[in-house]
Amino acid sequence: MQLGFVLALLLLVLMGLLTYQATRKLREVDERGSQAAAALAKIEAVSSLLNDAEDVQRGYVITGDERYLGSYDAEMQTINQDVRDLEKLTVEYPSQQEKIAALKPLIATRLGEIVATIDVRREQGFDPALKMILEQEDKPVMDGIEALLSGLRGEQEQQLYQRAAEADAREYDIIVRIAIGCMVAIMLVTGAGILIDRDIRARQQAEANLRKSRDQLAIILQGVADGISVRDASGALIYANDAAALALGYDSVAALLEAPGTDMLQKLDFLDEQGQPIAADLPERLALRGQQHPETIVHFRVRDTGAERWMVVKATPAFDERGLVQFAISILHDITERVQAYHTLERRVEERTHEIARRRQVAEGMRDILAILNSNRPLDEILHTILVQAGRLLGTDAGVVYRLSGRDPMLDLESASGLEPDMADGIPASWRPLSQAIESRQPVAMSDIAEHDDLADGALAPALQARIAALRQHFRAVLAVPLVVKEEAYGVMALFYPQPREFSRDEVAVAVAFSDQAALAIENARLRIQAERVAVAAERSRLARDLHDAVTQTLFSTTLIADVLPRLWERNAAEARRQLDELRQMTRGALAEMRALLLELRPATMAEIDLGELLRLLSEMMGSRARIPVTLTVEGQCPIPPDVRLTLYRIAQEAMNNVARHAGASQLAVSLHCQASQIEMRISDDGRGFDPARVAGDHLGLEIMRERAGDIGATLCIQTRPGEGTQVLVVWPLPQAVAALPAVAAGARLG
């Protein structure tokens, strides 16, 4: 392209030179042509002037009027001048110079003739003058002049023609040269133009592309979720995207850019992670000072609204070639949601921890209650514990359990903790916090009973009103939870607070949990009473069964024998005597049964009776029942504590019952040996025996016997085998003997 221009330029210069040269030549030609033309004009002028001079001569001669003379002197001079000019014009042409040289005297002669004629006319009159003119015509000076002029004219005209032809040729040459030069130039310029145009277009394209990519970058930066802002070295904000504007609390980029530099500092608090102000050390400021910093978490707080944002800010300085800070580019990554989520999580963890601690407290409270529930303590004691535990967890020491009374409008005071029974007692069931809880079977929380004027029923007796007034004087807040036992309204548990307070759902739930425990305790107590009743009934039916098993059967049998005895006596005296003896044994057995039953009814009596005596009773009883002879052996003195005595009696009773029921024995032996170190009790029979491994369940009450022996520290040993009878041995070591002779006692135990 540049070459094209240079060529075109050179060409134009060349063309100019050529054209200049041609034009100069043309001008030369032209000048010569002009010289020719001027020469021709001079020739014509000279010719014309001479003719004029002749006319002036003749006119003056004829008229004698001076006016014809006019400027005749000047014209004379002009003719001479013209001739001189002509001489100069034709200087290059010698033939013409010759003719002009010849012409000059002729003209001078002719002009002299004219002047002479005029002078004659003026001085001599017309005729002489005429005579002179005629004489002049005879000597044709004028003709010679004319011939010379004509020759000059012819030469000059030829000259002119030649110059014209030469000029034409030159002109054509120039035109051709210019035309060619122009065409070449046009081509070159056009080519250059095309190249230039292309160049311009390319440049425009590049510019458009640049603009486009800049727009795209702007769009990209706008679209970036992170805020991006750029400050120049003076600290002025020169770029920000939407995210940056929003992050800094501005509605738009424009608002941010237009805001004065201090606006942001007035508007926002900048804090570090620990909540300390860091306005002076903001990352972008550090960057403007040329410092590179790692990412920093900045906490922005809008002063007006208190709105908070957390950003990870990375500010980077951009240096120019001299190493000076040109810009500071800040990238703000919004982590508000993450931080808030973290804070929320932290709060939840804290709440949860708190809740867990609270639950643990509740659970511990419940565990304590459960322990006391299982301890068979009296109901009021259990309820008191529940009230204390509930109060401990629910922030009060005043609590009451009321029972609905069937009789009167008053609630029965079941248990009270932390307030005088006098104050808690005599509260009417219609007092609203309590009645509402009972009727709705829902907990009722009254944050401040002073705000309720309608709690004390105006219809109540004045005494009751006074009671409620006293309660209200001491307490402001009440939490009342219904006690529902076996789906029946039983009463209400109420916690009282000296100050007004709000109750959280959690607290109400805890109160409900405790009231459930209280209800459970009440139900347990009821069940226990019921169980006691059942136990009494069971005891009665056991007595009835014992009476039936023993006494009724025996009495029926003895009656029957007594019925038939007289007849039997007649028929068979020996048999009658045997039956009589039988009868005696039976009645004695019945007596023993009756005594044993009485002892069962009054265990205290049993504790006073000697173990040997008790065993004798059992032996008579069982001998009668089983219709087998029983031998009883008691050796030594047995100072046995009452509980041990009773237990040994029970074991003997169970063992002998087994013999009577299952052994099918013909002999039963009971022995009691009281030694210094231990007591041995043995019950043995000659019955069918059994395989201890094959006794189903606790069919024979063996486990109960063992447990009983274990309770008093005795050892129970059963020796039996099918077909070989059974022996039950119980060994009880005397306490002092255990201390004195442990080895012997241990050996005895093993035996």
Partner 1 sequence: MSEYNRVRVLVVDDHAVVRSGLSAFLQVYDDLELAGEVASGQEAIRACETLQPDVVLMDLVMPGMDGTSATRAIRQRHAGTQVIVLTSFWDEELVRSVLQAGAIGYILKNATAEELAAAVRAAHGGRPTFAPEVAKTLIQATAHPPDPARALTNREREVLALMIAGLSNTEIAERLMVSRSTIKFFVSSILAKLEVASRVEAVALAVQRNLVN
Residue 549 interacting with partner 1 (CB under 8 A)? yes
Q: How far is the CB of 666 from partner 1 (least distance, A)?
A: 12
Q: How far is the CB of 557 from partner 1 (least distance, A)?
A: 3
Q: How far is the CB of 485 from partner 1 (least distance, A)?
A: 14
Nearest-angstrom CA–CA distance, 268 and 280: 13
Neighbouring CB atoms inside 10 A of 696's CB total 6
Nearest residue (CB) to partner 1, 188 versus 668:
668
Q: What are phi and psi of 59, to 5 degrees?
A: -60, -45
Residue where the block lists tokens 């706008």: 222
User: Scanning residues 393 to 452, which ones bind partner 1 (CB under 8 A)?
Assistant: none
Q: How far is the CB of 554 from partner 1 (least distance, A)?
A: 5
Nearest residue (CB) to partner 1, 339 versus 483:
483
Q: How far is the CB of 697 from partner 1 (least distance, A)?
A: 15
Q: How far is the CB of 548 from partner 1 (least distance, A)?
A: 6
Nearest residue (CB) to partner 1, 433 versus 623:
623
**Token pair belonging to 248:** 């800094």
Nearest-angstrom CA–CA distance, 550 and 547: 5
Could you tell me the CA-to-CA distances from 660 to 437, 557, 593, 619, 653 in Å, in that order?
62, 17, 14, 11, 10
Nearest-angstrom CA–CA distance, 727 and 652: 11
Residue 577 interacting with partner 1 (CB under 8 A)? no
Could you tell me the CA-to-CA distances from 603 to 517, 541, 595 in Å, in that order?
36, 17, 12
Nearest-angstrom CA–CA distance, 471 and 599: 55
Burial of 501: CB neighbours in 10 Å, binned 0-12, 13-18, 19+: middle
Residue 553 interacting with partner 1 (CB under 8 A)? yes
Q: How far is the CB of 582 from partner 1 (least distance, A)?
A: 6
Cβ(647)–Cβ(679) under 8 Å? no
Q: How far is the CB of 550 from partner 1 (least distance, A)?
A: 8
Residue 556 interacting with partner 1 (CB under 8 A)? yes
Q: How far is the CB of 730 from partner 1 (least distance, A)?
A: 26
- Specify the stretch interacting with partner 1 by CB under 8 A; choose among 436-444, 453-461, 552-560, 688-696: 552-560
- Specify the stretch interacting with partner 1 by CB under 8 A; choose among 28-36, 414-422, 490-498, 563-571: 563-571
Cβ(318)–Cβ(329) under 8 Å? yes
Nearest residue (CB) to partner 1, 33 versus 589:
589
Query: Across-strand partners of 678?
Result: 733
With a CB cutoff of 8 Å and minimum separation 6, the contacts of 570 are: none
Alpha helices in 665-734 (DSSP H): 702-711
Of 283, 399, 482, 589, the one binding partner 1 (CB under 8 A) is: 589
Residue 380 interacting with partner 1 (CB under 8 A)? no
- Return left, alpha or beta for 306; rule: phi > 0 is left, psi -120 to 50 is alpha, else beta: left
Residue 563 interacting with partner 1 (CB under 8 A)? yes
Of 348, 540, 548, 602, the one binding partner 1 (CB under 8 A) is: 548
User: Scanning residues 618 to 647, which ones bind partner 1 (CB under 8 A)?
Assistant: 624-627
**Token pair belonging to 704:** 């109960």
Q: How far is the CB of 392 from partner 1 (least distance, A)?
A: 35
Q: How far is the CB of 628 from partner 1 (least distance, A)?
A: 8
Q: What are phi and psi of 465, to 5 degrees?
A: -60, -40
Nearest-angstrom CA–CA distance, 111 and 53: 8
Nearest-angstrom CA–CA distance, 206 and 209: 5
**DSSP label at 663?**
I
Nearest residue (CB) to partner 1, 84 versus 548:
548
Residue 558 interacting with partner 1 (CB under 8 A)? yes
Nearest residue (CB) to partner 1, 76 versus 702:
702
Among the listed residues 333, 339, 337, the one whose alpha carbon sits nearest the alpha carbon of residue 226? 333
Q: What are phi and psi of 299, to 5 degrees?
A: -105, 110
Nearest residue (CB) to partner 1, 532 versus 563:
563
Among the listed residues 280, 368, 287, the one whose alpha carbon sits nearest the alpha carbon of residue 329? 287
Of 238, 254, 357, 560, the one binding partner 1 (CB under 8 A) is: 560
- The SS3 call for residue 490 is strand
Residue 586 interacting with partner 1 (CB under 8 A)? yes
With a CB cutoff of 8 Å and minimum separation 6, the contacts of 47 are: 146, 149
- Specify the stretch interacting with partner 1 by CB under 8 A; choose among 215-223, 310-318, 359-367, 572-580: 572-580
- For partner 1, how many residues bind (rule: CB under 8 A)? 28
User: Scanning residues 644 to 683, which ones bind partner 1 (CB under 8 A)?
Assistant: 660-661
Q: How far is the CB of 751 from partner 1 (least distance, A)?
A: 34
- The SS3 call for residue 492 is strand
Q: How far is the CB of 444 from partner 1 (least distance, A)?
A: 20
Among the listed residues 351, 496, 346, 361, the one whose alpha carbon sits nearest the alpha carbon of residue 418? 496
Nearest residue (CB) to partner 1, 286 versus 551:
551
Nearest residue (CB) to partner 1, 558 versus 726:
558
Of 289, 441, 567, 602, the one binding partner 1 (CB under 8 A) is: 567
**Token pair belonging to 162:** 């030649």
Nearest residue (CB) to partner 1, 165 versus 704:
704
Longest dimension (CA), the chain: 258
- Specify the stretch interacting with partner 1 by CB under 8 A; choose among 50-58, 535-543, 549-557, 677-685: 549-557
Q: What is the dihedral of CA 152, 156, 159, 160, to 10 degrees?
A: -170
Q: How far is the CB of 570 from partner 1 (least distance, A)?
A: 9
Query: Across-strand partners of 481?
Result: 493
**Token pair belonging to 50:** 């001479």
Q: How far is the CB of 667 from partner 1 (least distance, A)?
A: 14
Of 291, 557, 675, 719, the one binding partner 1 (CB under 8 A) is: 557
Residue 515 interacting with partner 1 (CB under 8 A)? no
Residue 575 interacting with partner 1 (CB under 8 A)? yes
- Specify the stretch interacting with partner 1 by CB under 8 A; choose among 219-227, 241-249, 503-511, 564-572: 564-572
Residue 213 interacting with partner 1 (CB under 8 A)? no
Residue 581 interacting with partner 1 (CB under 8 A)? no
Q: What is the dihedral of CA 647, 649, 652, 653, to 10 degrees?
A: -110
Of 375, 442, 499, 559, the one binding partner 1 (CB under 8 A) is: 559
With a CB cutoff of 8 Å and minimum separation 6, the contacts of 499 are: 476, 477
Binding site for partner 1 (CB under 8 A): 548-549, 552-554, 556-561, 563-564, 567-568, 571-572, 575, 579, 582, 586, 589, 624-627, 660-661
